[in-house]
Amino acid sequence: MAERSDVIEKYKLVFLGEQSVGKTSLLSRFMYDSFDAQYKATIGIDFMSKTMYLPDRTIRLQLWDTAGQERFRSLIPSYIRDSNVAVVVYDITKRQSFKDATKWIDDVLAERGDQVIIVLVGNKTDLRDQREVTVEEGEAKAKELGLLFIETSAKAGYNVKTLFKKVATELPEMNSRGSAHEQSEVIDVSTEEPGEGAGSSNCNC
């Protein structure tokens, strides 16, 4: 078994997508294993941080939750600029949000080029009877653009932990794309105790 490193690598993840696709709900499920059925629009930018304990190392994810409203769009490029991962979320029950995902992906590529991991996320699989975007369409777009892809349900907890584990497994590759200074900060930590992340779900929705 690999020995865990005694340093924490910090990575910045920015969540992007149109209003009400579930960006905040995904983060709440991951951070607190909770879901608020009452929608509250994010105003500007929210920040959260979570440590993940992997078999061979410990990483800290700096999570930036961005507002989907048009009036906040001018703020977002500065948050994309030094990100390691961009998570672009759409609502599988709203085809327009899937089409608009391309705009967000273009924004990321304009700011970061190939120096960023992009994950395309189709959220709200619990509403499968209202689905307007198929799994195959999401997979095809991701393949076309060279992105990671996953479908989730923040409400049911489906695939939320898997999403972040998928990101975590890709991050070592990020270090090979640029200098360690550019891609992550490394700090020595000796006081934090390992904790459990959000609960996993057996939901198949």
Query: Residue 112's pLDDT is what?
Result: 94
| Residue whose pair of structure tokens reads 């991951």 in the numeric block | 30
Nearest in space to 153 (alpha carbons), one of 133, 128, 134: 128
Q: Which amino acid is at 104?
A: W
Nearest in space to 48 (alpha carbons), one of 33, 36, 30: 30
Does the pTM surpass 0.85? The reply is: no
In CATH terms, the fold of domain 7-188 is Rossmann fold (3.40.50)
At how many degrees (to 10) do helices 95-112 and 135-145 cross?
20
Task: Look at residue 46 and give its three-state secondary structure.
Answer: strand
Q: What is the C-alpha separation between 59 and 10, in angstroms, rounded?
A: 6
Q: How many CB atoms lie within 10 A of CB 151?
A: 21
CA 106, distance to chain mean position in Å, is 16
Domain boundaries, the chain: 7-188
Task: Please say whether the beta carbons of 58 and 189 come within 8 A.
Answer: yes
| Residue whose pair of structure tokens reads 């009877």 in the numeric block | 129
Bridge-based pairing of strands 148-151 and 117-123 is parallel
H-helix segments, the chain: 23-32, 76-80, 95-112, 135-145, 160-175, 180-183
Query: Residue 43's pLDDT is what?
Result: 56
Q: How many CB atoms lie within 10 A of CB 205?
A: 14
Regions in the chain scoring below 70 on pLDDT = 1-5, 38-44, 68-74, 173-205
Bridge-based pairing of strands 45-53 and 58-66 is antiparallel
Query: Residue 173's pLDDT is what?
Result: 53
Query: Residue 68's pLDDT is what?
Result: 57
14: Cα within 13 Å, side-chain hemisphere: 27
Q: What is the C-alpha separation between 96 and 141, in angstroms, rounded?
A: 14
